[in-house]
Each structure stands twice: as structure tokens, then as C-alpha cells.
Amino acid sequence: MKGFKHFFSAPVFFGGKLKIRGIGIQERMPPSIVHRPAGTGDHLIMYFYDPVEISSGGPVIECPEGTLMIWRPGQLQHYGTSKHGYKHTWIHCDGSLVESLLEKNSLGTGGPVEISSAPMERYLTMIYDEISGSPAADEELTSALMTALICAIAREKRKKAVPEKIPEQLLKVRNLIESGCENGFTLGELSEKAGYSIPHFSALFRKYFHSSPIDYLIRARMDRAAYLLRDSNRRIGEVAILAGYDDIFHFSKLFKKHFGKSPREFSGRKRK
């Protein structure tokens, strides 16, 4: 399908029930970041075919291909990537029908979700054909198609809620971190071992293990240090090295941040 976008000169408006301002299907974008601090004054439902970064006001999240995001009116819209071109499908819409459907299906209040592109392409094509192919779009038909779109997105999201099998490459990297956390792994080295680009690896790792790779490495080091500190014959400097830290002061600072106690306090040792 050849991509396109269309902003209607006069937004399609069915009272306060439904308003459609524009539709884009498989629109191609150059390497770029879109940043709208105050949003666009309506709901923006957008599906990405390529890895991008996304934010709605919180941290910027690296997302893999196949990600859908819903922004509410007035919410910061941040998306795209400066690393490569990307493609997306979207609709600007608003109204009481959209609000009620999103609330009923628990959509539009969270972050990015991974789904198939099929619902967006199928229903947006039909909505666009109905609006642009007749002098006056039928309110009931357009509303039914909008309902079908949001319900299909919700169904795709529910499917994704079923636990997926974790890719073997990610399991191997996680096991490598846990068994060799004292090694000075870099994000680049870990992503190379997994066979992914750094953004894709980071997004997948967070998806399956709910942590960034580096945070997971730090946590594994801290857990190892806590275990070693229970041996009263080990010096704190020795524990720091065995946990992967040459700088005992840096180690102590991280340990206290993680456990709320210094290594000495954690181990119950008295100062000499």
C-alpha cells in the first residue's frame, strides 16, 4: 500500500459525539523527532512500523516496531527517531464516543503497547473511504467503524497480555549478566551478544524483564555483594571487587542507594 495522509479542511463533526480531523495510513517520515508540548487538542492514536522513541510527558521510552500509542487531548506528544526514517498510521479524533470507548476498554491512560497493524489499517481505510467517498458521511456507519477500531485495538492488547515466550537470545544475555555480573559489560557488548541493535535490545529487555539492561546488571551486582557481605571473613574492599567495582567509594554509594544501608551497616560490622 502506498502511504498517504489527509487532514480534512473542515473536520468531520457529528455533534459532540465524534470529530475526525485527519487520517494517515503508512505515512513515511524522514529521520526526525516530533515534539508537541501541549499536544494537538484531540486524541492522537498512532501505530509505528519501525523502532521509535515515545513519550507522553514522562521518560522517553525506546519502543520496537509494532508499537501503538494513544495521546489524550493536551498531553505532550513526543515520537520519532533521528536515526532512521520510519512509517506510521494514525488518526486525530475526539468526542464523547472516543472518550467512552477508550475508558471502557482501558485504553489511553497508559504507555505504548505492542499490537498488530491490521486493526489500524483495516478500519482507518474504511473510515477514510466513508468520509472522502460521499458528500456527507453517515454518522451511524462512521461511529460503528470507530467503535470497531478501538475495540479491535483493545482485543489486540488483551492478546499481548498473555505471557509470551522470552526469546532465547535474551535469556542467554540475562543469564550471562547474573553469572558474570562482576565483568564490565557495556550496553553495546550485551546487545551484540543478543544479536540486536542497542535500541531494539534495550526495548525488548525492558519488555520482558521490566528493567533496563544496565539497571539489571547493577541489581545483580548489588545482590551478589549483599550475599558476600554475610561472610564476616571478607573485607568490604574485597566484596566490592568481587561484585565488579574497583572503586570502593563508588561501590558503597551504589550499595547504600540500593539497600538504604552502607555495606558496613548492612553486614553489622563495627568500625575499628
Hey, where are the domains in the chain?
A: 4-161, 168-267
With contact defined as beta carbons under 8 Å apart, do 98 and 43 qualify? yes
Does the pLDDT of residue 272 top 60, yes or no? no
Work out the pLDDT band at 269, boundaries 50, 70, 90.
low
Query: For domain 4-161, which CATH number applies: 3.40.50.720, 2.60.40.10, 2.60.120.280, 3.40.190.10?
Result: 2.60.120.280
Quote the pTM value.
0.60
Strand pairing category for 61-63 and 32-36: unpaired
Q: Which uninterrupted H or E stretch holds 104? A: helix 96-104
Q: What percent of the chain has pLDDT over 70?
A: 97
Can you read off the three cell numbers belonging to residue 232?
A: 564476616
Cβ neighbour number for residue 203 with a 10 Å cutoff: 24
Phi, psi of 32, rounded to the nearest 5 degrees = -170, 160
**E-strand spans in the chain?**
4-14, 18-29, 32-36, 43-48, 52-55, 61-63, 67-71, 77-81, 86-94, 113-114
Mean pLDDT of 49-57: 96
Write the DSSP string, 198-253: HHHHHHHHHHHHSS-HHHHHHHHHHHHHHHHHT-TTS-HHHHHHHTT-S-HHHHHH
User: Residue 170: in which H helix or E strand, if any?
Assistant: helix 168-179
DSSP H or E run through 108:
none
Q: How many residues does the chain have?
A: 272
Task: For the domain made up of 168-267, give the CATH fold.
Answer: Arc Repressor Mutant, subunit A (1.10.10)
**pLDDT, tens only, 9-42:** 887 888 889 999 999 999 999 999 999 999 999 9
Cα dihedral 5, 8, 13, 17 in deg (nearest 10)? 20
Across 111-119, average pLDDT: 90
> Radius of gyration of the chain from Cα atoms?
24
Nearest to 219 by CA among 177, 261, 191: 177
- Residue 86 pLDDT exceeds 60: yes
